[in-house]
Structure 1
Amino acid sequence: MSDRLHATVLEVGPRDGLQNEARALSPEDRIAFIARCVEAGARRIEAVSFVNPKRVPQMAGAEEVMAGVPRRAGVSYSGLVLNRRGLDRALDAGVDEVNVVVVASDTFCVRNQGCTTAEMLDAWDAIASAAADAGVPAGMTIAAAFGCPFEGETPPERVAEIARRAHAAGAFEIALADTIGVGVPGQVRDLTRRVRAAAPGTPLRFHFHNTRNTGYANALTAVDEGVTILDASTGGFGGCPFAPAATGNIATEDLLYALHRGGVETGMDMEAVAETGIWLGGLLGAPVPALLGRAGPF
């Protein structure tokens, strides 16, 4: 890795990190969490999810959160949306970018979003068009890109075809998500090359979970492949409420340690992130999966 390489860590803790926790945090606590992320140097933050709070009660109050986040030059807040109603809420709340999740397997898509993959792709086309009209960039996250808890292996050709649809509708970015943490570095290399061929010129982002202890190896493999945007969650919290045994995202502080030691700059303060991870664990009443807060930097 080059000494001059820079990677952006997109902080997903306020959304993916909290959506599967037993204790739901108040909008005030979520705003405080986001403010700490900004102070630690995060410049892209997935702050909220505009989904039905009956389905994901931890994400209730998205508008309140967006009304209270610190607005600073260079800081971009994204909101997850799954339909036109969610998009309208996101636009009204003043998000800087929209993240639309399309699950690569039908069974998981129906459980997660109440529709098939093909139906969600049609919804994506409409959301992307409306977001473009509003001047807000829309990106797609392809969930279960490495494997599905219900259908098994996800065919890489299917991921590439979904990426083509994202590209055709003008996605400003495509993220590949290992939603249940089954991926290995060889898959990262293969999917990176397939998606780049299917969506030429569209920036690629990865979203890894460390369910089977491969998340950090996968992240470093993506960087070796030239990917410069990686999702991570402060403290290593996270998971999908609709996927069995889907444990946490890779931890922001642990990822920062690996990147910084490898000569990759991020502009983030890993010790400040680790302190926030410990603080967040206290709010959630849960053990902190991340390791940097225990061991400290070297």
Structure 2
Amino acid sequence: MSIEFKGRVAIVTGAGGGLGRQHALALAARGAKVVVNDLGGARDGSGGSASAAQAVVDEIRAAGGEAIANGASVTDFEAVQAMVQQAVDTWGRVDILVNNAGILRDKTFAKMELADFKLVMDVHLMGAVNCTKAVWALMNEQKYGRIVMTTSSSGLYGNFGQSNYGAAKMALVGLMQTLSLEGAKNNIRVNCLAPTAATRMTEDLMPAEVLEALKPEGVVPAMLVLASQDAPTRAILCAGAGAFEAAHITLTQGVHIGIAPDAPEELVARMAEVTDRAGEQVPMSGAAQGAVEIGKAMEAAKALA
């Protein structure tokens, strides 16, 4: 089955280079009309120029596709709203949003200024919130939407020197979990993509041969699947070097201990049972945790009756 996007309109943020550029080119090559958004700033978020986005638009048009450039900062909600309106004015709708824009301000937490922590949160988390909020009513009205959040292994599993980046990237998973539930009735599917790719953001972090293996093109198929008509929803798809995996936030079976005075001591003694992954589940919503806990409490009460 071929994945194609004819008649679909996509917005890709941070699409002036690296992974975002590849996302935009791939969507356009398969028929999507693409808003190429990029502030044109440096890796740390400073500066700005529309030339990066326009260069990608020129590439798409040269290949026979349709695209327009937009230089809005994803941290500016009014500018983001204007970007969405630009897409609607040009093509009448927005079907796909790929939240890809990001910056790095890496330092250990001990040395990090709070301003750098906040800025990374603003770009990655609030940038995605702003863009998603700007398309949400439109997607609900048209009863169709595909939203891809860009998370990271740094958020899912941690990475030294990236407390700000990791916090923002994990927050996007939480955002996705709830929006996938709220969007389901109107066919809005929301997913996360965790890419491993050699881009301007990672060029200083890896040796040359590894960077060669981790071309951004190796991530793009996962994005195309998550943006497609037959996309899953509430998935965390990991991708890099042409390999693909899924990440899950799971809940173990756990144990019931009760609330006796010695409960903390018993919890310590039984921690191996609590963390035992046999029979763990992927909850369908946050209510599942409470359901498991109440169920165990009711079983314990029956046993004492």
Name the TM tier (shorter chain): 0.3 to 0.5
Q: Which has the higher contact order (CA 8 A, sep 6+)?
A: 1
Question: TM-score, with normalisation over the residues of structure 2?
Answer: 0.37
User: Computing the radius of gyration over CA atoms, which structure comes out larger, 1 or 2?
Assistant: 2
